[in-house]
């Protein structure tokens, strides 16, 4: 079908004339083309914004990096903050992953119970729960009760934020485990709990790992709860005591960004660079892992 219109004006009907778009069709085509380029532009915009943000952090952050920056304390580096973040996130993971997996097992393997609906709703709501609210809640629950900020309080808050990510990711992958495996296990007379622990969960371990990495990446950058729960440590020395406030990377960036101090800004850029690099690496890793386990599941 040729679309060139040499003579699209109203002429007497000629059945032998080549098919050409009339004025109306040409308008519709034009609208469609405008809409298509608008959509393409929007996608380009999103990629562009990602590029600009990453570029900005890269350019400003790379200058701050040095070996000392990773190992020294507050005025020069972010060593203690890195250690603190690792500690908080590790404790949060240890809390959130078992709990999240159990919730998912309940929903998939023991589903149909009367509490399945509220549980699913709770997970959905939790996914959109403002992290500052989680921070305020844990402040009431732990910091007020013990009268001191602590790494434990921060990890409980992060665990709540991670819980829905782990639970939903695990639920999704448990549903991908073929029913034939459950049936085979049943047919061999294996009891429910044994087949869950030895057949179903092991085959879902790739997906669980993916969800865990994504949750860790989310928790590592979470700031709002930390400034309520573990902020009064300047991060001069490494401290690991879980019952005290420990320095942490997001909190450091936030504090430095609130002080109008160029040297502080440089350090904040450096810390932001490190944090962003870790989080992006985790996200890419999770994606690779997900693709691999999907392929394994499929074939």
Partner 1 sequence: MSTAASPAATGSVQPSRSRSAARRRSLDRFGDGLLRVVCAAAALTAVGILVLSAYQIFDHAGPAISKFGLGFLFSTEWLPNFGVFGAGVMLYGTLVSSFFALLLGAPIAIAIGLYLSLLAPKGIRGVISPMVEMLAAIPSVILGFWGILLLAPFVQKHVEPFLHNTLGFIPLFGPPQTTGASIFTASLVLTIMIIPIVASISRDLFLAVPRDVQDGASALGATRWEVVRGIVLPTTSSGVIAASLLGLGRALGEAIAVAQMIGAGEKINTSLFETGDTLAARIANQFPGAITGMHKASLYYCAAILLVIGLASNLCAQWIGRRFDYRRMVAR
Q: Which of residues 145-184 bind partner 1 (CB under 8 A)?
A: 160, 163-164, 167
Alpha-carbon 147 to chain mean position: 32
Q: Which of residues 242-261 bind partner 1 (CB under 8 A)?
A: 250, 253-254, 257-258
Using alpha carbons, list the distances in angstroms from residue 65 to 186, 254, 273, 276: 57, 18, 9, 14
For residue 297, how many other CB atoms are within 10 A of its CB? 15
Q: Which of residues 258-287 bind partner 1 (CB under 8 A)?
A: 258, 265, 268-269, 272, 275-276, 279-280, 283, 287
Residue 3 interacting with partner 1 (CB under 8 A): no
Residue 115 interacting with partner 1 (CB under 8 A): yes
Binding to partner 1 by CB under 8 A, coded x per residue (else -) over 186-225, reads --xxxxxxx-xx-------------------xx-xxxxx-
Residues 88/225, Cβ–Cβ less than 8 Å? no
d(CA 57, CA 73): 22
Q: Which of residues 13-32 bind partner 1 (CB under 8 A)?
A: 28-29, 31-32
Stretch that binds partner 1, among 2-10, 34-42, 75-83, 234-242 (CB under 8 A): 34-42
Contact with partner 1 (CB under 8 A): which of 8, 17, 62, 102? Answer: 102
d(CA 237, CA 235): 6
Using alpha carbons, list the distances in angstroms from residue 189 to 177, 182, 185, 195, 199: 19, 11, 7, 10, 13
Residue 140 interacting with partner 1 (CB under 8 A): yes
Contact with partner 1 (CB under 8 A): which of 72, 109, 172, 244? Answer: 109
């Amino acid at each position: 079908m040729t679309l060139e219109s040499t003579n699209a004006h109203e002429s007497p009907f000629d059945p032998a004339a080549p098919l050409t778009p009339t004025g109306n069709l040409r308008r519709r085509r034009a609208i469609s083309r405008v809409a298509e380029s608008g959509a393409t532009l929007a996608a380009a915009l999103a990629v562009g914004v990602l590029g600009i943000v990453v570029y900005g952090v890269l350019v400003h952050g790379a200058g701050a990096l040095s070996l000392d920056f990773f190992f020294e304390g507050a005025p020069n580096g972010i060593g203690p903050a890195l250690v603190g973040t690792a500690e908080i996130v590790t404790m949060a993971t240890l809390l959130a992953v078992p709990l999240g997996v159990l919730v998912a097992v309940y929903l998939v393997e023991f589903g149909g119970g009367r509490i399945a609906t509220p549980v699913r709703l709770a997970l959905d709501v939790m996914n959109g729960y403002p992290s500052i609210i989680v921070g305020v809640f844990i402040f009431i629950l732990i910091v007020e009760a013990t009268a001191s900020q602590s790494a434990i309080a921060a990890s409980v808050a992060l665990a709540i934020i991670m819980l829905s990510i782990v639970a939903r990711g695990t639920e999704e992958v448990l549903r991908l485990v073929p029913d034939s495996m459950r049936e085979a296990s049943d047919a061999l007379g294996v009891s429910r709990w044994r087949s869950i622990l030895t057949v179903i969960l092991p085959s879902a371990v790739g997906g669980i790992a993916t969800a865990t990495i994504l949750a860790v990446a989310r928790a590592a950058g979470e700031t709002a709860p930390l400034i309520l729960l573990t902020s009064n440590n300047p991060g001069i020395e490494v401290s690991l005591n879980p019952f005290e406030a420990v320095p942490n990377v997001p909190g450091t960036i936030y504090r430095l960004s609130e002080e109008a101090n160029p040297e502080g800004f440089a350090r904040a850029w450096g810390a932001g660079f490190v944090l962003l690099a870790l989080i992006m690496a985790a996200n890419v890793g999770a994606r690779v892992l997900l693709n691999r386990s999907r392929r394994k599941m499929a074939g």
